Amino acid sequence: MNLHLNGKVVLVTGGAKGIGAAIVRAAAAEGAIPVIVDRDAEAARKRHDELPAGEIVVAELSAAESCYAAVQKTIERFGRLDALVNNAGVNDKVGLEHGSPEQYVESLGRNLLHYYNMAHYALPHLKKSRGAIVNISSKTALTGQGGTSGYASAKGAILALTREWAAELLNYGIRVNAIVPAEVMTPLYRQWLDTFPNPDEKLTAILAKIPLEQRMTTPDEIAAMVVFLLSAQAGHITGQHLFVDGGYVHLDRALT
């Protein structure tokens, strides 16, 4: 299937590692020009070196001015922007009991506010290209997890913003969709597993609850859905929450 992404400029936040890196690779494989926005300069350079084309923007996105600068650098370098993938974030365990109001606000800065800021500053350019936005959310927005109020509420807000932006931007032909992953093996997920006394035992328990094949979703499987949603092949899909999770959220637990 030709996704007709050749030459399209695709900005990916958190694009140096994990799901973001898989999205960058998938976009490049379709002929798109990825712009990697990440605070990890070394990882971003490593990812960029693997690509035939693209750009790096090293930024801490909790600052609105950094979001503006990332978009501006993209426009200065390529003169256009065709797609935005909001992906950066971290399950930072800022909970209700073990957390504070100040930490909660900081968590929203790490996981939510830059989604709005990036879309806000990208919008004038996406209007010109009739581009697309894909937001990466999380199953915690629907299932809860316990002990992660900041992350879960940010991911829930991302689902709401996806529908709100899809409605607001209809007249510009800009499509907005969200991906909802559940259990995906990334460097951050590995770090989380390693906080348990027996990480392998914890992983085995998690895998047993994933209905389809009792395995983790791969970052590449998330990326494949993202690039499809960015493409003309998804030209009449907007305002959707798409679950790439092996049936984790919606299938009956009796199956596992």
Q: List residues with catalytic annotation.
A: 151
Largest Cα–Cα separation, the chain = 54
Q: From CA 196, how far away is CA 173, in angstroms rounded?
A: 46
Q: From CA 62, how far away is CA 82, in angstroms rounded?
A: 23
In this structure, what token pair is assigned to residue 62? 């909790």
For residue 162, give Cα distances in angstroms to 17, 27, 138, 176: 23, 21, 13, 6
What's the CA angle centered on 50, arms 47 and 54, to 5 degrees? 75
Q: Where are the beta strands (DSSP E) in 67-153?
A: 83-86, 132-136
In this structure, what token pair is assigned to residue 113? 């506010």
Q: In what order do the strands lie in the sheet with 132-136?
A: 55-58, 33-38, 9-13, 83-86, 132-136, 175-181, 241-244
Taking alpha carbons only, the member of 88, 127, 134 closest to residue 231 is: 134
CB 44 within 8 A of CB 98: no
Helix (H) or strand (E) holding 9: strand 9-13
